[in-house]
Amino acid sequence: MVAVVKYNAGNIRSLVNALDRLGVESILTDDPEELRSAKKVIFPGVGEASSAMRYLEERGLDEVLKSLTQPFLGICLGMQLMCEYSTENDTKCLGIFDETVRRFPKDEIVPHMGWNNFISHSGVLFEGISVRDSMYFVHSYFVEVGPDSIATTDYILPFSSGLRKENYYGVQFHPEKSADVGQRLLRNFLALK
Amino acid sequence: MLNKRIIPCLDIKDGQTVKGVNFVDIRNAGDPIELAKRYVKEGADELVFLDITATIEGRKTFVELVRHISEEINIPFTVGGGISSVDDAKKLLDAGADKISVNSAAVRNPDLIRQISTEFGNQFLVVAIDAGLINDEWKVFVKGGREATELDVIKWARKVEELGAGEILLTSMQHDGTKIGFAVELTNQLTELLNIPVIASGGAGSKEHFSEVFQKTKATGALAASVFHFGEIPIPELKNYLRNQKIDVRI
């Protein structure tokens, strides 16, 4: 069973649909026990950092998410919330990753919206995926490149398109919206032990 | 590198695609899902579904259709047509739409842009601008291009950006359906001025038109309907052509 973290973030249905297409049973939940006992946890999200963090803290979900031991995948805002700090409304985040979230420069075209490939990537999450393959991105804030980066992409500047620390993974793009390549990445994640 | 997006647009009435479609291997050309799947397979980067139904019953059918699209399609899609409130937007978001596009309602009530982008994020909101020439000035048109307003296109575009639009879909009424190419000059003016993505629409008739709009403007995507529906420009062929012109596209 895959648990998808239920919170106040947009378009979670796309992810559940993508898991359905892969024939994977999933449950949308904010119940600590269900999250702890799931084989895998996915933390999706589109939205704003401070209101999302406030929602998680009010329900004690921040502590639950930080203490999980199974493979965990944050997507888009989910990945950003796993970082130390976001400049989006001066938000202290979960602190799983050491990196900081910043806004793209104001005088450039933002959001970064569309299909982009990789400068580099590594590890099992990207098995069978070329650096030339494109994923679908939509974001105005980015994670700087740091020690936890496992994938980097160029838009205005190089940023982290993938992060990993122990059982925690994050991707900035939307695998659930990235056609067959995105589906491959989800399969790679679901195959993790 | 961020790729330029190629975006087919499907007009929907009572849950069926409206314009005739000329794909030999499609069983039911009126079935939006089957057509959408075909475009995904061909390499479309996004899809737009425009509901041109006027009735309340038809609206419900459309929301149901959006739910099916979200189940079946693994690329992003925008839905538009008749969205005039935060509640309309929420129904479509809950049904699985990645983005919604507003047009006439935003002109009537510009605050709707702020409301929707505050509630759901600016990435969720496309503002469609239909531009037409009146006495050599680009004015905003509403009601599917049937009614002119006093609004200046450039000023309106600046305002919708300020109010929180995540993207602008610019259609030239002067070019739409003519196959003489996109409104390159107007698109260029807008992309030079704005810091949000702009999609060019209206006038696509050949592969060269797509390369022209990407080479001469900073448009991040180009939208077309009939040239794709009638198979006049197959998407794989278009993308190969653009790549040969040194334009970054996803293949």
pLDDT tens by residue, A13-66:
889 999 999 999 999 999 999 999 999 999 998 888 998 999 999 999 999 999
CB atoms within 10 A of CB B192: 10
Residue B21 pLDDT greater than 70, yes or no: no
A1's CB contacts (< 8 A; 6+ apart) are A25, A26, A27, A38, A39
- The C-alpha atoms of residue B90 and residue B34 are separated, in whole angstroms, by 26
Looking at the predicted structure, is the pLDDT value of residue A140 above 80?
yes
pLDDT digits 0-9 by tens, B74-103: 999 999 998 999 999 999 998 999 999 999
pLDDT at B241 over 60: yes
- Chain B residues in contact with A134 by the CB 8 A cut-off are 3, 250
Interface mutation target, options A17, A21, A76, A107, chain B, most CBs of B under 10 Å: A17
Indicate the pairing of strand B5-13 with strand B47-51.
Answer: parallel
Give the pLDDT confidence score for residue B237 in this predicted structure: 98
Residues of A within an 8 Å Cβ radius of B:
10-11, 13-14, 17-18, 20-21, 46-48, 106-117, 134, 136-140, 154-155, 174, 176-180, 182-183
Mean pLDDT of B45-68: 88
CATH for the B5-244 domain, from 3.20.20.70, 3.30.1300.10, 3.40.1260.10, 3.60.15.10: 3.20.20.70
Q: How far is B90 from chain A (nearest CA, A)?
A: 10
Which has more confidence, A85 or B31? A85
| Domains of chain A as residue ranges with CATH | 2-190 (3.40.50.880)
CB contact under 8 A, B96 and A46: no
Cα–Cα distance, B51 to B63 (Å, whole number): 10
Looking at this protein, which amino acid is placed at residue B101?
S
Which residues of A are catalytically annotated? Answer: 76, 174, 176
For residues B11 and B151, the model is more confident at B151
Distance CA B15, CA B33 (A): 10
| pLDDT > 90: percent of chain B | 79
Query: What is the arithmetic mean of pLDDT over A145-164?
Result: 98
Residue B121 has its nearest CB partner, among A47, A107, A117, at A47
Q: A138 vs B76: CB contact, 8 Å cut-off?
A: yes
Question: How many angstroms separate the CA of residue B135 from the nearest CA in chain A?
Answer: 31
Which amino acid would we find at residue B130? D
Q: Is residue B48 a contact partner of residue B11, using CB atoms and an 8 Å limit? A: no
What's the whole-number mean pLDDT along residues B13-33?
Answer: 68
Which residues of chain B have a CB within 8 Å of the CB of A107?
Answer: 195
- Taking the model in full, what pTM does it have? 0.95
Q: Average pLDDT, whole number, for chain B?
A: 92
* Interchain contact, A47 vs B71, CB within 8 Å: no
Is B114 near chain A, with CB under 8 Å?
Answer: no
Three-state secondary structure readout of chain B: CECCEEEEEEEEECCEECCCCCCCCCCCCCCHHHHHHHHHHHCCCCEEEEECCCCHHHHHHHHHHHHHHHHHCCCCEEEECCCCCHHHHHHHHHHCCCEEEECHHHHHCCHHHHHHHHHHCHHHEEEEEEEEEECCEEEEEECCCCEEEEEEHHHHHHHHHHHCCCEEEEEECCCCCCCCCCCHHHHHHHHHHCCCCEEEECCCCCHHHHHHHHHHCCCCEEEECHHHHCCCCCHHHHHHHHHHCCCCCCC
For residue A59, which amino acid is it?
A: R
Q: At what angle do helices B184-193 and B153-163 cross, to 10 degrees?
A: 40
Q: State whether B2 and A112 contact (CB < 8 Å).
A: yes
The closest CB to that of B3, out of A115, A154, A179, belongs to A115
pLDDT value of residue B54: 67
B14 has pLDDT over 90: no
Mutate to test the interface with A, among B37, B63, B74, B247 (most CBs of A within 10 A): B74
Q: Please report where in the chains the tokens 């087919």 appear, as a residue.
A: B8
Minimum CA–CA partner of A135 in chain B: B250
Contact A150, A157 (CB under 8 A): no
Hey, what are B52's tokens? 């041109």
ipTM for the whole complex: 0.94
Residue A54's Cβ-count burial label (10 Å; 0-12, 13-18, 19+) is: middle
Residue B20 pLDDT greater than 60, yes or no: no
How does residue B25 score in pLDDT terms, banded at 50, 70 and 90?
low
pLDDT tier at B146, thresholds 50, 70, 90: confident
Decide if B11 is catalytic: yes
- Distance, in Å, from the CA atom of A80 to the CA atom of A71, rounded to the nearest integer, reads 17
pLDDT at B144: 83
Report the pLDDT value the prediction gives residue B19, as an integer from 0 to 100.
60
Tokens in use for B8?
Answer: 């087919």
Q: What count of CB pairs under 8 Å joins A to B?
A: 96
Given a contact cutoff of 8 angstroms between Cβ atoms, the answer to whether A85 and A101 are in contact is yes
Q: Is the peptide bond before A111 cis (omega within 30 degrees of 0)?
A: yes
- Please give the Cα distance from A193 to A105 (Å, whole number): 39
* Average pLDDT estimate for B167-175: 95
Q: How many other C-beta atoms can be found within 10 angstroms of the C-beta atom of residue A63?
A: 12
- Using a CB–CB cutoff of 8 Å, tell me whether B3 touches chain A: yes
Task: Report the pLDDT value the prediction gives residue A58, as an integer from 0 to 100.
Answer: 94
User: Tell me, what's the pLDDT at A106?
Assistant: 85
pLDDT in tens, A83-130: 999 999 999 999 999 999 999 998 999 999 999 999 999 999 999 999
Name chain B contacts of A137, Cβ cutoff 8 Å: 2
Start-to-end C-alpha separation, chain B? 13
Whether pLDDT at B28 is above 80: no
pLDDT at B114: 96
B116-142: average pLDDT: 94
What CA–CA distance (Å, rounded) separates B240 from B26?
Answer: 24
Contacts of B50 (CB under 8 A, 6+ apart): B9, B10, B11, B12, B79, B80, B81, B101
Would you state the pLDDT for residue B17? Answer: 85
* Three-state DSSP class for residue A29: strand
Tell whether B161 lies on the interface with A, counting CB pairs under 8 A: no
CB proximity list for B130: less than 8 A, separation 6 or greater:
B103, B140, B141, B142, B144, B145, B171, B173
Q: Are A20 and B74 in contact (CB < 8 Å)? A: no
Task: Please answer yes or no on whether B74 and A180 come within 8 Å at the CB atom.
Answer: yes
Distances in Å between the Cα of B181 and the Cα atoms of B195, B196, B207, B214 are 24, 23, 10, 12
**Amino acid making up residue B186:** L
